[in-house]
Every structure is written in C-alpha cells, then in structure tokens.
Amino acid sequence: MQIIKTLACCIFFVVSLAGYGQSGYLQQGAKENILLERMEIKAQKDTNLNFSFIKPFNRRWLVTSLERIESDSEHVDLTPIDRYQIERALGNSQEWTSGDPSRFASKKSLWNTFFKSPGDLVLVNQKDFFLSVNPVLQLQTRKESGNGEFLFLNSKGIVARSLIAKRLGFQFYLTDNQERGPRFFQDRVSRYRAVPGAGFYKSFKGTGVDYFDARGSLTFNVIKFLDLQFGYDKQFLGNGYRSLFLSEFPNSYLFLNLNLHVWRLNYVSKIMELTSQYSRGATDALFPKKYMAIHHISFNAPKWLTIGLFESVVFDRTDHFEFGYLNPIMFLRPMEQQLGSKDNATVGFDIKANVAKRFQFYTQINFDEFVLKEIKKGDGWWANKWAWQIGGKYIDAFGVKNLDLQGEVNTIRPFTYSHNDTIANYTHYNQPLAHPLLSNVREFVGIARYQPAPKWYLEGRLIAWKQGSDTAGHNFGNNIFLDSDSRYMERGYGIGSASPLKGVNANLWVAYEWKENFFIEASLLLRRLTGSATTTMPSLGIRWNMHRREYDY
C-alpha cells in the first residue's frame, strides 16, 4: 500500500535522527510466552505484563518486568523452574538486560565465534551494536490412520534481530517449507485455496505444499512512551487461546503499528494491507487488495484488572485510499458512518482479572452488528452478528508446581465477520483473520501444561465444537467468504443451524529441550468430525528456534 510505505519512510527519516529503537519482539510461539502468562498472574499488578494480550510481546517490557520480579522474589512465589526459565528468558533478550552480560555466556563456545551464548549461533553485544543470528529448523514425520501417504514437515531458514546505537532495531525471519499434512488439512487447502498461516504456495509431490514464510519489521521508539513498527508479519490480540479480534492463523500482512504505553494505559493503532479473496489462474497476476484499521485501548484500573476497548474496519477503494482511517484518534465507526456505512466495522471490549496470584479470568466480546430490540424478539435475526469468549487460567494448580490449567468457551453467531460483499469480509489471503472455524460455531477449549523439570514440557489439549454448515447450496452463515446477502432466510438462525457438525480435536505433546531452543518432541493427535472417520496421527521430530506447527481445527 503506497500510503503506508510513504508514511513509513517519513517516520523512518525523522526518528532515525532523534529516536531510540527496539530490537524487536518475541517470535510467534516462543517458549517465553508460557513464562509470560505465569509471571503476569503471579506478579498480578505488573503494568507491563498485564498488557500481554499484544503478541508478539515487546522484549524490552518482558526484560524490565522479569528483572523486577527476580530482584523482588520475596513477594512473588517463584518455583525453581520459574527461576531457571527467567534466567533463560533474560539470556535470550540480552540487548535489554542490565548488569554484566557475561552471566549469559556459554561455558564453551565453538571456535570462540559461534554459540558465545547458549541461545545464539552468532551474537554480537557491544555498546552501540547488538546482533543475533540463528538457524531455523523443523523436521517432523507423521503417520495418519487410514492414509497410506507419508506425512511430513520440512522447514529450514534463518532468524535475526539487531539494535543499532539504541536508535534503530530490526528483526527478520525466513523459512522454506515443504509440508504434507493430514487429510483434513489437505481438504482445507483445497477448499479455500490457501495454506493455513502461509501465503503463496505450490503443489509438492501431489498432495503436499511448498511455500516460503518471510517476515520482517523495523521498530522505533519516537519518545519514551511511544513505539512505531513497520513491517510484514502476523499479530495476535487477546488473552485466550483463540482471539475474536485478530489471530495468528492467517498469512502475514503489511502493517504500520503505533503503540502508546504510559502510566496504566496502553493504546494500539494499526493500519494493515490485506489480500482480498482471489482465485489463482493459470498465469501470474496481482492479487486484489483491501485494507484494515484497528484501534485498541486498555486500562489497568486497579492494576489487577485490565479493561480494553476494540474497534476495527475493513475497507477497499478502487480509485483512492480512505485517508480518514489513518487518524489514530478518531473513532472508526463514526468515521465509517460519515463515509456512507459501506465498510465492515466492528466494535468490542475485553476484560481480564488476575486473582490471588494463582488465577486469571478473561472475556472478549466482538460486535459485528447488534440490535437490542431484535435480540429481545429471540427469533434469530440474521444480522445480530456477534462473538464472545470467556475463559480462565489456574497456575500451579492444586499445589502442583508448574502445572497450569486453562479453560475457554468461544461462541460466534452466524454471519459474524461476513459482509454484504466478498471484499470487506474479515479475511486475508483466503483465510479468516480471527477464529479458524469461521462463524456459526460454539467451541470448548481445555489445556493442561506441566513442566516436571526445567527441560521437559508436557501439554494436553482438548478442543470440542458444534458448528453449523452451509448445505444444499444455501448460506446459513458459516462461510464468512460468502456474500451475506446470499443468506437462505431472514430469521431462525442459531448456533449450529442448519446442519450441525460436531468435532473433537485432542492433542498430547511432550518435548525435551536438548539445547537452548532446540526441542526433541513427539505428539499424538486424535480428531473426529461428524460423518468422518476418526483421525489418529502420531508424530516425531525436532524443532530449533521455530514455533510448533499446529492442526488445531
């Protein structure tokens, strides 16, 4: 999007002269996220960690809070494994730590050049220059019941981040991937013409896919409390396992972020360039574009309670860009009305409470359209489009150290995230921007995590859902890619209409961290959907500096 690129170049020129940079954010799926959740609940009133709904999370915020917790451990109940993970997390974000960085040095480096730090292949940490470069690798082999094909994931690449003169920071991530997933993954790729979490792809050995995952961003600190980030990546807004605002499920996108973090307030403004629905032809062609603006403001009042307000709008223009949506202060819904109410606007709120340094309760509600008098009628009017989430976390459950439990319910009304055209729907690159099950669904998520020792990780996850399906060529509000004006009827919609499908997805995962950020892991997935055979899929593999590939839908 030319306006974002031009604006970003101007910002870069100004802040590179007078700003202070940041080296970046935690990677998607970073192991520090588990520690982040635990420390937020245990500290209860930390005004950095309480804004953990923003992912990827700011490394500087994380280090500041972890060092404070480490120095004040008398007031925070840390387990031995917590202390070990805090030390490792600080060592993986050395550019922001205080004190002597030699505390994080490896006992023995390779040729006095590589692995000077356990978590970095190449590390340069000098007064005015920080650089970390690491390989990225994930090799997985799988076997699916009833499927004679060999399933695999082969990912390899590089990740780097840097901080120069405390002014300019950047991060970069690139992987080359070949993947043959289970049959329900293959069916999804075929149906939506998109690989979950990825962009452009090619067929590989028949039923496999081949794709690149390239991400990168520049970060600036304009003043002490104001950060700017320009890049191509994916983000997550929420406190739960799922997000009803913005998830990491789709492909990356071009974005410009503004984040104001002062006192007990945090304000996020995003402008994003997205790819509209498309159908690839026999020859190369430009994919159609659309745009999205997001505002989110949250407040710690009191510090153990975080309340947030959210708004977004998805829009496109054939002849110009809508500059009004660039205003980071103006409410988006009134602006959208002033322009003629053509675009797809949503509003919502979220609440999170940390209780007794052991529990966290959270909720998230997103309104696409909402008319109270129609709700009171109770006849299932199609245009009452909303989604809600409620969940809770319990750490060191039942007195067992490092046993964490989480439960969550997500409900999405029919037609939520859809629009009366096939452009301004809540999607990107033929993938949903929020929940992977689209809409017209009620989902239950249960997660148990346990670390019996510093290098051992165990996780069990159970997801069960009831979902309405669009059958016989009629639109009952599940497929958000369809024009909502093509609906089958005006009233009578409920969760599961018209032909309900019930599904269960259970996963058991165990991993051993052999070296820093190098995991040897195994998992067992069981999946059952109405009308389909039960899928059983064991897997075994290694993973280095990369997030786990999930099939949690």
Tell me: the pLDDT tens digits for 281-292? 767 788 999 999
pLDDT of residue 282: 67
CATH number of 2-544: 2.40.160.10
Q: Is the pLDDT of residue 366 over 50?
A: yes
With bands split at pLDDT 50, 70 and 90, how would you rate the model's confidence at 74? confident
With bands split at pLDDT 50, 70 and 90, how would you rate the model's confidence at 13? very low
| Interacting residues of 23 by C-beta distance below 8 A, sequence separation 6+ | 59, 95, 96, 130, 161, 162, 163, 169, 170, 171, 219
Percent of the chain with pLDDT over 70: 95
How many Å apart are CA 97 and CA 110, to the nearest integer? 24
pLDDT of residue 470: 86
Least confident among 118-122, 211-215, 366-370: 366-370
Q: What average pLDDT does the chain have? A: 92
For residue 302, the Cα-to-chain-centroid distance in whole angstroms is 27
Q: Dihedrals φ, ψ of 476, to 5°?
A: -105, 15
pTM of the model: 0.94
Least confident among 151-160, 254-263, 472-481, 504-513: 472-481
Least confident among 54-63, 193-202, 227-236, 367-376: 367-376
Q: Give start and end residues of each alpha helix (H) in 22-165.
A: 32-43, 59-71, 80-91
pLDDT tens for 183-241 read: 999 999 999 999 999 999 999 999 999 999 999 999 988 888 999 999 999 999 999 99
Q: Which three-class secondary structure state does DSSP give residue 542?
A: strand
DSSP 117: B
Q: Which three-class secondary structure state does DSSP give residue 460?
A: strand
pLDDT of residue 497: 86
pLDDT of residue 332: 84
Q: Which three-class secondary structure state does DSSP give residue 334?
A: helix
Residue type, position 111, single letter:
W
**What percent of the chain is helix, strand and coil (3-state, nearest 5)?**
20, 45, 40
Domain boundaries, the chain: 2-544
pLDDT tens for 524-535 read: 999 999 999 999
For residue 321, the Cα-to-chain-centroid distance in whole angstroms is 27
pLDDT of residue 23: 57
The mean pLDDT of 489-517, rounded to a whole number, is 95
pLDDT of residue 416: 97
pLDDT tens for 416-425 read: 999 998 899 9
